[in-house]
Amino acid sequence: MRSRFSAYVRGDTSYLLRTWHPTTRPKVLALDPSQHWVRLEVLATSAGGVFDTAGTVEFRVSCRHRGRLKALRERSSFVREGGRWFYLAGVPVPD
């Protein structure tokens, strides 16, 4: 989760696509250069430990977009395959 947030901060679409599960990964990922990610708060986790093959992370991120501060809250699903974690999907959570 934190590595993907860092990739959004850096605009590293290559890393984001590599860590996105192939069954849900978009063919192209275009990030808005006017959107600047500033904070990640992990609110809750479920599973995702050393011996798990799946897990969820609920988080809130803040970004500055065209001078305005915005926040997004999401519950994301991850799966582990071949020893690597992949982002599967996310569902917005009302704040």
| Bridge partners, 84 (sequence order) | 81
Residue-wise pLDDT for 28-87, tens only, equals 999 999 999 999 999 999 999 999 999 999 999 999 999 999 999 999 999 999 999 999
Q: Which tokens sit at 65? A: 């977009």
Radius of gyration of the chain (CA): 14
- Residue with tokens 């959570």, as numbered in its chain: 93
User: What are the residue ranges spanned by the domains of the chain?
Assistant: 2-92
Residue-wise pLDDT for 32-45, tens only, equals 999 999 999 999 99
CATH class for the region spanning 2-92: alpha beta
Q: What is the pTM of this model?
A: 0.92
Q: Identify the pLDDT of residue 1.
A: 83
| Angstrom distance (rounded) from CA 29 to CA 4 | 13
Find out whether 89 and 77 touch, Cβ atoms under 8 Å: yes
Nearest alpha carbon to residue 61 among 78, 76, 77: 76
